Amino acid sequence: MSDQLKALFAHAGAEGVKQVAVKAAKWMLEELERTPEEFGESREYLPHADLHMRLAFVPPLFVQFGVHHSTRTVFISKIGWFG
Predicted pLDDT of residue 3: 83
In Å, the largest CA–CA distance within the chain is 43
Separation CA 77–CA 1 (nearest Å) = 9
R_g of the chain computed on alpha carbons: 13
Query: Bridge-partner residues for 65, per DSSP?
Result: 54, 76
Residue 64: count other Cβ atoms within 10 Å of its Cβ: 16
pLDDT digits over 36-55, tens only? 999 999 999 999 999 999 99
Per-residue pLDDT reduced to its tens digit, 54-74: 999 999 999 999 999 889 999
- Can you give the pTM of this predicted structure? 0.88
Answer yes or no: is pLDDT of 2 > 80.
Answer: no
